[in-house]
Chains A and B, each alone.
Chain A
Amino acid sequence: MIQGVQIDLISKERLENLTSMEKIHLILDYVMEGNIVVLEKGLDPEEQSRLIEITMLEITPDGFTGIEMETYHSNQGSAGGMGGILKRLFAKTGPDRRLTVIGPANQMKMIKKEKDFMSAWVSSR
């Protein structure tokens, strides 16, 4: 049998139809099976906070060790100066939510991350 890694790409539309907890459980279910999940639109900060919390509760010795998660930098979040302040004051949707990659921490390692480029190394189980 060919060894490999399953990659699940989840569209923005599918994510928008899920509640926060549904999104988090969907991601963790896939990642705990050893899959790499690519979200077309990333999680909002509240969801990220809950994802960290629930991930911690799923970690077991010699089992799931957590997640590796990477996304492009948000232009809005790092905007400084008066332009950045005004942008944040008038932003209604929060920081940009951009393509996000999530995988099992023991299988996925980011090897390069730049403002507009990410490179990850993934091993099979």
Chain B
Amino acid sequence: MNFFVRTRKKFSKLLRIFLRKKSARIGIYGPPNAGKTTLANRIVRDWTGDAVGPVSEIPHETRRARRKENIIITGLNGNSVTIDIVDTPGVTTKIDYHEFIEYGLEKEEAITRAREATEGVAEAMHWLREDIDGVIYMLDSTLDPFMQVNIMMVGIIESRSLPVIIVANKIDLPDAAPSRIRSAFPQHPVIPISGLEGDNVDQLYEKMTEYFG
């Protein structure tokens, strides 16, 4: 960890102790395998040194919404925001346990995973209606952003007048095309990042202090 990050973490800790500001609950939403938990882990690790949950290439690794409280993020401009990060299961309209068997899971394990995933998606939708103050909507920038579930979710978020930042993730991959995401959602800020490599996350932190503060 470089000097700059260490200094920012110490500064955040001091702010947390002295300010005790009310946290904004920020949900990380998006389709399965967009990199939501990877980003949640990065945010929590960068600002508290902790982690949120495991990641996997098998869809629906996150099957319960997980919350990490009182994270103070400071942008390069010196502005800060106190948030609770809520990492949510990938939103979809269909779940078939056979898909998990293709990844090598046993039938019983796949059925359990599917059942937990359906409960998790239902819970995530409930959180969005009741308990979320702002949204980071994650998209895999190697995929078509015009999928119906994305259009629907952004519409739901807009209808609740929640501030939303769209993250075009996986820009480290050769097929990444964040410009497609910008053209799909020109009404919202789109920040291209690599959650895995950490590319451009400072720009995201900057935007979070601006939008969720």
Which residue numbers of A lie inside 8 Å of B, CB to CB? Answer: 44-46, 48-50, 52-57, 59, 61, 65-71, 73-74, 77-81, 84-85, 88, 94-95, 105-106, 110, 113
Of A55, A65, A67, A77, the residue contacting B154 (CB under 8 A) is A77
Is residue B211 within 8 Å, beta carbon to beta carbon, of the partner chain? Answer: no
Which residues of the other chain, A, contact B93 by a CB distance below 8 angstroms?
52, 55, 66-69, 105
The 5 A-B residue pairs with the shortest CB-CB distance in the complex, in nearest-first order = A66-B94, A80-B186, A105-B94, A45-B159, A56-B118
Is residue B7 within 8 Å, beta carbon to beta carbon, of the partner chain? Answer: no
Could you tell me if B122 and A65 are in contact, using CB atoms closer than 8 angstroms? no
In the complex with contacts A67-B94, A78-B184, A48-B118 CB distance below 8 A: no
Of B95, B146, B156, B186, the residue contacting A59 (CB under 8 A) is B95
Could you tell me if A57 and B122 are in contact, using CB atoms closer than 8 angstroms? yes
Could you tell me if B148 and A69 are in contact, using CB atoms closer than 8 angstroms? yes
Which residues of the other chain, B, contact A68 by a CB distance below 8 angstroms?
93-94
Interface string of B83-119 (1 = CB under 8 A from A): 0000000011111110000000000000100110011
Which residues of the other chain, A, contact B94 by a CB distance below 8 angstroms?
55, 59, 65-68, 105
Which residues of the other chain, B, contact A105 by a CB distance below 8 angstroms?
93-94, 96
Chain B, range 110-137, C-beta contacts under 8 Å to A: 111, 114-115, 118-119, 121-122, 125-126, 128-129
Which residue numbers of B lie inside 8 Å of A, CB to CB? Answer: 91-97, 111, 114-115, 118-119, 121-122, 125-126, 128-129, 146, 148, 151-152, 154-156, 158-160, 184-187
Could you tell me if B122 and A48 are in contact, using CB atoms closer than 8 angstroms? no
Query: In the bound complex, what is the Cα–Cα distance between A69 and B147 (angstroms)?
Result: 10
Could you tell me if B156 and A49 are in contact, using CB atoms closer than 8 angstroms? yes
Could you tell me if B158 and A77 are in contact, using CB atoms closer than 8 angstroms? yes
Query: In the bound complex, what is the Cα–Cα distance between A54 and B105 (angstroms)?
Result: 26
Could you tell me if B159 and A52 are in contact, using CB atoms closer than 8 angstroms? no
Of A48, A66, A106, A113, the residue contacting B152 (CB under 8 A) is A48
Could you tell me if A49 and B125 are in contact, using CB atoms closer than 8 angstroms? yes
In the complex with contacts A52-B121, A70-B148, A59-B114 CB distance below 8 A: yes
Which residues of the other chain, A, contact B151 by a CB distance below 8 angstroms?
71, 73-74, 77
Q: How far is the CB of B12 from chain A (nearest CB, A)?
A: 33
